[in-house]
């Protein structure tokens, strides 16, 4: 999936050619991507968490294998209530684009691309 | 008749200074100035007359070395006396040294970096005056790196977290914040460096860096660090003057320089301010004996002295206050609490320890931040319940990092101070994440440079940091048992209790048998 640039290349002032590559490009992670998972409005977690995942991972596998082990650190989090306890969205700057999650939906289906932020809040 | 030989004419101090500094300059005859000074044009800065640069140092090399040697003698006498009298036992508490661990890991290596770049300026600036000023500051910075390391080396005999600061500066996640800050400046041109470090860091923000550390030392029984601070104070005053001279010189040389300098001010204010989040949390949370809150320091040293003094003067040149300064002012109520909460949760991967503030300390914080700390207090009370139930909040994963400041993205929105900010830009098909409008603004002006950022979390996931597990990474960081984690019950804490005969001491394998008398090496 090609992302639409939000900024153009500005003029570069340098003493020679200067065009280094990104040190975080998706290609550096094989077939995986980095994704950020953000519990909006819960300060218990100081920041969104970053995970290296396969975009083909189903949401059910993501929930049990990635999400729950991390967020169980919050004593108020009850994994038994399932993912339905949250509203899920993709964060784009200050906007929240809602996404519908289900057990067989893959992260790629949800629109989670490299370094995207998958947010959630209490429903 | 014999004619007596003329007595050698003695130069006045002014003539002597001129002869030993500017008179060493010359006009090239067989190569062009562009060949000799290839770095002074590509940034777009126009200089018409280098002789207009006023050198604030006004010292010759022999006078400079004489003064510095005298200061060094006084400092090293204090260091010797402190070591011989086991002065470390008179600190307020071993946890105080967490502030000094941050200092030696984050600041001392950057003093060395500063010496490197001022050496480059001493070669590459076109005027004799600025070249000599850069040479003096280069020597100052090298001396500061050495004296800081020597000052703190005594603590390395008895306490964790000091033993491997140089390697850790290059590798550990939170030290990528000061490292990337300085290396951004090191890789810029000479004029941007002067605004970045000479002006924004040394003039605009230096009091917010050094006063908290040195006064914190004074209030907590750390005589060596306090003495180092006094020793460096006269140098820092000259550095501030040099920074101010640099910006005025650039602004007076050509009005085309104004927008270039304004962008650098916008950029380096915000970069420096973000770096000072580490100082903010130190001031509010790491000092057992508090003396001033971050909010108070920010109001005095930035809002009063800079916003009401400096920027009113710079308006004459067409310079306005830095962009995003309003956000920094709004954050003064929050930034220290958010920064310490970050370090608290990740201190298992750090070379310092953290702990829940005592009830007394939280009362002090509530007095300083009556509007906002009650909310953070609820977080600490939740954590205390967590600890009482057998937990201790260490994050089980890795945080999202800002592409520019490299701090975990825990800072909040200006208009919603309890929701973390999320910003992103897409450049040449790749998404980049930012903690704030300030960091996003910098990236969007220099995306090619900042996409090269070495973000610790991303590098760990690429397998570049020693291996895939936490012990692998901590080993690669050069951490040893006792360097990080929870302070209460730590090796430093246990040793401290033992050395002071506290009955709460629990014998363990790590305490030197009689460290108060013998120490380790």
- Tell me if chain A has a CB within 8 Å of the CB of B398: yes
Find, among A28, A4, A92, the residue nearest to B423 by Cα: A92
DSSP 8-state class, residue B469: S
Q: To 5 degrees, how large is the angle CA B316–CA B297–CA B182?
A: 70
CATH number of A45's domain: 3.10.20
In 10 A of CB A20, how many CB atoms? 9
CATH number of B55's domain: 1.10.620.20
Kindly give, in sequence order, each residue whose CB lies less than 8 Å from that of residue B345, ignoring residues fewer than 6 positions away: A46, B393, B394, B395
Q: What Å distances lie between residue B253 and A114, B48, B49, CA to CA?
A: 46, 6, 7
In a domain? residue A58: yes
> How many domains in chain A?
1
In a domain? residue A8: no
Domain limits for position A107: 39-122
In a domain? residue A79: yes
Give the span between the Cα atoms of B19 and B433, in whole angstroms: 53
In a domain? residue A29: no
Q: Which residues of A touch B346 (CB under 8 A)?
A: 46
- Whether the CB-CB separation of B431 and A99 falls below 8 Å is answered with no
Question: What 3-state class would DSSP assign to A5?
Answer: coil
> How many domains in chain B?
1
Q: What Å distances lie between residue B47 and B35, B187, B251, CA to CA?
A: 17, 21, 10
Closest residue in A to B340 (Cα) is: A46
Q: Which residues of A touch B191 (CB under 8 A)?
A: none
Find, among B437, B403, B137, the residue nearest to B270 by Cα: B437
- Whether the CB-CB separation of B160 and B479 falls below 8 Å is answered with no
In a domain? residue A3: no
A23:B425 CB<8 A = no
Question: What confidence score (pLDDT) does residue A120 get?
Answer: 98
What φ, ψ does residue B145 adopt, rounded to 5°?
-60, -45
Q: What counts of helices (H) and strands (E) characterise chain B? A: 24, 7
Give the span between the Cα atoms of B140 and B135, in whole angstroms: 9
Tell me the helix, strand and coil percentages in chain B, rounded to 5.
Answer: 60, 5, 35
* Interface residue of B188, B267, B426, B441 to substitute, partner A, most A CBs within 10 Å: B426
Question: What 3-state class would DSSP assign to A106?
Answer: strand
Give the span between the Cα atoms of B265 and B268, in whole angstroms: 5
Give, for all 521 residues of chain B, the pLDDT tens digit.
Answer: 567 667 667 888 778 777 777 777 888 999 999 999 999 999 999 999 998 887 776 778 888 889 999 999 999 999 999 999 999 999 999 999 999 999 999 999 999 999 999 999 999 999 888 898 899 999 999 999 999 999 999 999 999 999 999 999 999 999 999 999 999 999 999 999 999 999 999 888 888 888 888 899 999 999 999 999 888 888 888 888 888 989 999 999 999 999 999 999 999 999 999 999 999 999 999 999 999 999 999 999 999 988 888 898 999 999 999 999 999 999 999 999 999 999 999 999 999 999 999 999 999 999 999 999 999 999 999 999 999 999 899 999 999 999 999 999 999 998 888 899 999 999 999 999 999 999 999 999 999 999 999 999 999 999 999 999 999 999 999 999 999 999 999 999 999 999 999 877 655 444 443 333 333 33
Six token digits for residue B390:
């057998």
Q: Please tell me the distance in Å from B415's CA to the nearest CA on chain A.
A: 12
Provide the Cα torsion A54, A59, A64, A69; round to 10°. 70
Question: What confidence score (pLDDT) does residue B505 get?
Answer: 64
Domain limits for position B253: 50-355+396-499
Place of tokens 């000023």: B133
Query: Helices in B187-301 by DSSP H: which ranges?
Result: 190-193, 206-219, 223-253, 257-275, 277-281, 294-298
Q: Which DSSP string corresponds to A11-71?
A: P---SS---PPPSS-GGGGTT-EEEEEEETT-TTSSS-EEEEE-TT-BHHHHIIIIIHHHH
B295-316 b/e (C-beta count within 10 Å ≥ 16 → b): bebbeebbeeebeeebbeebee
In 10 A of CB B457, how many CB atoms? 23
Which A-chain residues 42-71 have CB contacts (< 8 A) with chain B?
43-52, 69-70
- Tell me if chain A has a CB within 8 Å of the CB of B419: yes
Give the span between the Cα atoms of B294 and B364, in whole angstroms: 12
Give the span between the Cα atoms of B304 and B159, in whole angstroms: 38
Q: What's the whole-number average pLDDT of chain A?
A: 96
Six token digits for residue B16:
């002597």
Give the span between the Cα atoms of B232 and B150, in whole angstroms: 14
- Tell me if chain A has a CB within 8 Å of the CB of B120: no
In a domain? residue B241: yes
Please list the residues that pair with B434 across neighbouring strands: B423
Q: Which residues of B touch A41 (CB under 8 A)?
A: 418-419
Place of tokens 């003096």: B136
Place of tokens 């603004």: B441
> Is residue A64's pLDDT more than 50?
yes
In a domain? residue A112: yes
Give the span between the Cα atoms of B447 and A6, in whole angstroms: 11
What φ, ψ does residue A95 adopt, rounded to 5°?
-90, 150
Question: What confidence score (pLDDT) does residue B511 get?
Answer: 43
Tell me the residue length of chain A. Answer: 123
Helices B206-219 and B223-253 meet at what angle, rounded to 10?
170
- Whether the CB-CB separation of B339 and B409 falls below 8 Å is answered with no
Q: To 5 degrees, how large is the angle CA B79–CA B297–CA B153?
A: 20
A47:B452 CB<8 A = no
Kindly give, in sequence order, each residue whose CB lies less than 8 Å from that of residue A75, ignoring residues fewer than 6 positions away: B382, B385, B386, B389, B391
Q: Which residues of A touch B397 (CB under 8 A)?
A: 49-51, 70
In a domain? residue A19: no
The H or E element spanning position A78 is none
- Whether the CB-CB separation of B101 and B352 falls below 8 Å is answered with yes
In a domain? residue A82: yes
- Whether the CB-CB separation of B492 and B90 falls below 8 Å is answered with no
Kindly give, in sequence order, each residue whose CB lies less than 8 Å from that of residue B312, ignoring residues fewer than 6 positions away: none
- Tell me if chain B has a CB within 8 Å of the CB of A1: no
Please list the residues that pair with B354 across neighbouring strands: B486
């Amino acid at each position: 999936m090609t992302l639409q640039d939000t900024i153009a290349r500005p003029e570069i002032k340098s003493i020679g050619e200067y065009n280094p590559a990104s040190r975080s490009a998706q290609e550096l992670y094989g077939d995986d991507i980095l994704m950020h998972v953000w519990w909006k409005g819960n300060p218990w977690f100081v920041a969104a968490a970053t995970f290296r995942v396969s975009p083909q991972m189903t949401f059910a596998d993501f929930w049990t294998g990635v999400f729950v082990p991390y967020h169980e650190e919050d004593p108020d989090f009850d994994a038994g209530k399932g993912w339905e306890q949250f509203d899920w969205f993709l964060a784009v700057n200050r906007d929240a684009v809602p996404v519908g999650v289900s057990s067989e939906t893959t992260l790629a289906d949800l629109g989670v691309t490299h370094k995207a932020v998958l947010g959630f809040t209490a429903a | 008749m014999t004619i007596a030989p003329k007595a050698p004419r003695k130069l006045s101090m002014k003539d002597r200074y001129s002869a030993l500094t500017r008179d060493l300059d010359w006009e090239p005859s067989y190569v062009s100035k562009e060949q000799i000074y290839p770095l002074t044009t590509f940034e777009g800065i126009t200089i018409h007359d280098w002789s207009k640069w006023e050198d604030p140092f006004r010292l010759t090399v022999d006078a400079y070395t004489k003064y510095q040697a005298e200061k060094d003698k006084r400092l090293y006498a204090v260091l010797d006396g402190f070591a011989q009298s086991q002065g470390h036992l008179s600190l307020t508490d071993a946890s105080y040294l967490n502030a000094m661990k941050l200092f030696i890991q984050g600041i001392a290596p950057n003093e060395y970096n500063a010496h490197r770049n001022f050496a480059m300026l001493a070669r590459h600036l076109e005027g004799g005056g600025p070249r000599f000023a850069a040479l003096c500051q280069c020597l100052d910075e090298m001396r500061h790196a050495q004296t800081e390391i020597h000052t703190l080396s005594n603590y390395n005999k008895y306490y964790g977290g000091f033993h491997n600061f140089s390697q850790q500066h290059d590798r550990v996640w939170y030290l990528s914040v000061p490292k990337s800050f300085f290396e951004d400046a090191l890789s810029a041109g000479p004029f941007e460096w002067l605004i970045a470090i000479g002006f924004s860091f040394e003039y605009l923000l230096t009091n917010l860096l050094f006063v908290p550390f040195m006064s914190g030392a004074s209030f907590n029984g750390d005589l060596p660090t306090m003495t180092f601070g006094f020793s460096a104070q006269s140098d820092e005053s000259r550095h501030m003057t040099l920074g101010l001279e640099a910006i005025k010189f650039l602004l007076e040389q050509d009005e085309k320089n104004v927008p270039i300098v304004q962008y650098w001010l916008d950029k380096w204010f915000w970069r420096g301010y973000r770096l000072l989040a580490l100082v903010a949390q130190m001031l509010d949370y790491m000092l057992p004996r508090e003396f001033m809150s971050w909010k108070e320091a920010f109001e005095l040293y930035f809002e009063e002295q800079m916003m009401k003094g400096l920027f009113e003067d710079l308006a004459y040149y067409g310079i306005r206050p830095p962009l995003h300064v309003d956000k920094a002012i709004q954050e003064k109520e929050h930034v220290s609490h958010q920064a310490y909460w970050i370090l608290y949760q990740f201190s298992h991967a750090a070379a310092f320890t953290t702990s829940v503030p005592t009830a007394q300390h939280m009362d002090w914080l509530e007095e300083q931040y009556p509007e906002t700390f009650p909310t953070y207090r609820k977080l600490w009370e939740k954590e205390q319940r967590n600890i009482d139930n057998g937990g201790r909040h260490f994050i089980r994963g890795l945080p999202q990092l800002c592409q520019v400041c490299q701090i975990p993205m825990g800072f909040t929105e200006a208009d919603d101070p309890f929701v973390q900010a999320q910003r992103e830009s897409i450049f040449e098909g790749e998404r980049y994440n930012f903690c704030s409008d300030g960091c996003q603004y910098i990236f969007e002006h220099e995306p090619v440079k900042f996409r090269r950022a070495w973000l610790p979390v991303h590098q760990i996931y690429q397998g570049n940091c020693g291996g895939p597990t936490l012990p692998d990474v901590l080993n690669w960081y050069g951490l040893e048992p006792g360097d990080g984690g929870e302070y209460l019950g730590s090796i430093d804490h246990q040793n401290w209790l033992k050395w002071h005969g506290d009955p709460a001491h629990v014998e363990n394998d790590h305490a030197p048998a009689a460290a108060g008398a013998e120490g380790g090496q």
